[in-house]
Amino acid sequence: MISIVDSKEPENTPVEIVNDDELSLEDERDRLRLERQVERAFYVAGSALRELRERRLYRSTHKTFKEYCQDRFGFTRSHPYRLIDAASVIDNLSQMSPNGRQNNSELENVGDILPTSERQCRPLTKLEPQQQREVWRKAVETAQGRVPSGKVVSDLVAKIEGKLKSGKRQVASGNKNGNHKQVEEGVNYVQGMGCEFYVRLSQETWKKLNEYAEYVGTASLNGAVARLLNEVYSEVI
C-alpha cells in the first residue's frame, strides 16, 4: 500500500511518498522464521509420529498405530508412514557434512538445503542412506543451489533404479549361463547385500499389488511391497 502524506504547505512543496510494503529488518526475520516453520512442519509431524509408534503411546486407546492415526488425526493409512519416512530422510540429509559444509563443491551450504515437503523426500525413501545423500546433492546442484522439486529428485532416483535393474539383469544372464547358482524362490541372503525375497505370484495377486502401488503413491512396485511390509510390521508391534 502506498500512501501520500500532505504537509499542507504551499503547492510547490514536494509530496512525501511512503511505501508501507517494505519490510523492516525485524519483519524480514519474522517472515523467515515463520516460513521455516511451515517448511519443516512435515518433519516435526513425522518425528512425532515416529516416537508415538516406537513407544506405542497409543496403546491405552487403540490396538494398532493405523487405527490411532485415523481416529486421532484423520490420516489415511499411508500418510503417517510417509511422514515418518520423510523425517528419517531429513535426519539423514542433515548429516551430509560437518557444519553443513561440502568439500570440492561450488555450493558451500548444500547440507543446509533440505527438503521443504514430504513429496520431495518420498523418492529418496527407497534408497540407502548414502545413496540418499548422493542423490540429494545432485538434485540441489541441478536446481542451482535451490530446493529441488519432487520431480527432479524422482528423475535422479529413477536413473539409479535403472542402473540397479540393469545390474540384476546381467547377474540373471550369468545365472542362465551357469556362471552362478540360479536364484531360488524364498529368502536369499547375499553377503554384504542383505536379504531378497523371490516369490511366484498369480496374475490376480500381481494385479492387486500394482493397484496397491498406485493407491499408496509409490514410484515402483518394490516401494509398494516395502510399504506393505512396513504396515504389517506396525500391526505386529
Question: What does each of the 237 residues of the chain score in pLDDT, given as a tens digit?
Answer: 445 445 555 566 565 555 667 888 999 999 989 988 888 999 999 999 999 999 999 999 999 999 999 999 999 888 999 999 999 999 999 987 554 443 334 334 555 789 999 999 999 998 999 999 999 999 999 999 999 999 999 999 998 877 655 555 554 444 444 444 445 555 555 554 456 666 677 777 777 777 777 666 665 677 777 777 777 665 555
**What SS3 state is found at 74?**
coil
Crossing angle of the two packed helices 65-73 and 41-54, in degrees rounded to 10: 140
Adjacent-strand bridge partners of 16: 5
SS3 for 30? Answer: helix
Burial track 191-200 (b if 16+ CB lie within 10 A, e otherwise): eeeeeeeeee
pLDDT confidence of residue 111: 55
> What's the rounded Cα separation, in Å, for the pair 76 and 120?
19
- State the Cα–Cα distance between residues 224 and 205, nearest whole angstrom: 13
For cell 545432485, name the residue.
Answer: 138
Threshold 0.75, pTM exceeds: no
**196 and 188 Cβ atoms separated by less than 8 Å:** yes
The predicted pLDDT at position 195 comes to 60
